[in-house]
Amino acid sequence: MPVTSAVVVGAGIAGLSTALSLAHHGIHADILEQAPQLGEVGAGLQLSPNASRVLQALGVLQDIEAHWRRPDYINLASGLSLKTLAAVPAGSFAENRWGAPYGVLHRSTLQQSLLSVVLKNPLIRLHLGTRIEDAGRKQLAELVGHSPDVVIGADGVWSRTRIMIPGAPEVSFSGNVAWRFTLPAKGGPGFLDPANVTAYLGPNCHLVAYPLREISGYNIVAISAGVSPGETWSATGTEAQKALLARAFAGWHPSLQSMIASAPALNYWPLFQAGPGQWHGGGDTVLVGDAAHAMMPFSAQGAAMAIEDGFDLAALLAHHPLQTALDRYQSLRQARAARVRQRGAFNKFVYHARGPIRMGRDLVLALRPPQSLASDLDWLYGYRAGEQV
């Protein structure tokens, strides 16, 4: 029989959206979170139509739309000259083509919007300050007061749930870090686009900038080679590490170099990625989000993949016996994640190109019309989670 109850480990974007997806199908969910309260994590993120479509179905998008910005374009520009190389249309084009909007927002806005809907849902219970030492049946039953049909690990790249699954993916440092900072719009660099997403491309690194309505400013993410500080979501850059970042962007346009050098505070995230492995072990435990498939952010799909995971998994659990649902989920989502990962690897090659390859890239991008670039994303942004059951 299809499941009727679940325990979700982790109350980040993956855990909250998965619990809402389960409740959408009438499945009770207990969310276990070790933090005593849910605070602000990270900075900005991009929500593409494949994710916003799910959030609309879950009753979350309406609240988000009061806070986010909907860019008209996602621009690709040269980090050496600031010249726009190509533009993928978003705005009303995205909604018409892919059936849902594209927006940029602060990560905490998404988390708080999800949390607000979770707290109103009678099928969901949130347990804060609850640390899971293992995902054993006895401990979970004691924590939630019953034995759930399925345990869902949504506890991120350093998942504790993952170690309970034989043959689960292992994570490793990618050799890259994401430097993050924000700038106020007032008095900020004049070359930044106040309405759109812009990815500045350069040799061996790139930088993404877009406006955040919540802070009346810009979110900046610079990705380059770096050294991992260990298992942490965010670390403050030392002077030596800041010097490493400056060297990575040497030769870029002076305005971009000046912006990086004068950033008021630089934090960085080590970028870890998950290898191949099992997302469920034939029992009753399964992984979603970064716990299953942490990947490089070159397609801006980290949050979207987690949201899709939960919605697909919930639909399968509602319509199939547990083992059939988990097998189908793993097959479906591993194929999807692999394709997104491949697209990210291609984007990295294109974004970080140098020498003759860079010149060829610029020429090809200049020759392609915006709608042609958009068509390359139909498989990604047009995906309809929950319809694959």
Predicted confidence at residue 131, as pLDDT, reads 80
pLDDT of 118 above 80: yes
CB-side exposure of 121: number of CA atoms within 13 Å? Answer: 28
Pairing, β 267-274 against β 235-236: antiparallel
Of 299, 270, 272, 302, the C-alpha closest to 288 is: 302
Mean pLDDT for the chain overall: 91
Give 236-252 pLDDT, tens digit per residue: 666 777 788 888 899 99
Q: pTM (2 decimals)?
A: 0.94
Instruction: Describe the strand order of the beta sheet including 124-127 as a list of residue ranges.
Output: 124-127, 28-32, 5-9, 150-153, 285-287
- In this prediction, residues 308-329 reach a mean pLDDT of 97
Predicted confidence at residue 380, as pLDDT, reads 97
Contacts of 273 (CB under 8 A, 6+ apart): 171, 172, 174, 294, 295, 296
Q: Is 210 a catalytic residue?
A: yes
Predicted confidence at residue 154, as pLDDT, reads 97
Of 304, 302, 311, 307, the C-alpha closest to 329 is: 311
- Residue linked to tokens 């004049």: 190
Q: What is the DSSP letter of 237?
A: P
- In this prediction, residues 162-178 reach a mean pLDDT of 91
Predicted confidence at residue 293, as pLDDT, reads 97
Give 180-220 pLDDT, tens digit per residue: 888 998 888 999 999 999 999 999 899 999 999 999 999 99
| Phi then psi dihedrals of residue 51, to 5 deg | -90, -45
Predicted confidence at residue 41, as pLDDT, reads 64
Greater confidence (290 vs 227) lies with 290
| Phi then psi dihedrals of residue 238, to 5 deg | -80, 170
pLDDT of 233 above 70: no
pLDDT of 227 above 70: no
Give 248-270 pLDDT, tens digit per residue: 899 999 999 999 888 877 888 88
What band does 135 get if pLDDT is binned at 50, 70 and 90?
A: low
pLDDT of 21 above 60: yes
| Phi then psi dihedrals of residue 235, to 5 deg | -135, 150
| Phi then psi dihedrals of residue 355, to 5 deg | 60, -140
Give 338-371 pLDDT, tens digit per residue: 999 999 999 999 999 989 999 999 999 988 999 8
pLDDT of 40 above 90: no
> Per the residue annotation, which of 73, 102, 200, 210 is the catalytic one?
210
Contacts of 357 (CB under 8 A, 6+ apart): none
Predicted confidence at residue 232, as pLDDT, reads 55
Q: SS3 helix, strand, coil % of the chain, rounded to 5?
A: 40, 25, 35
Predicted confidence at residue 229, as pLDDT, reads 61
Domain annotation for the chain: domains and CATH numbers: 5-71+101-170+275-352+375-381 (3.50.50.60)
Percent pLDDT > 90 in the chain is: 72
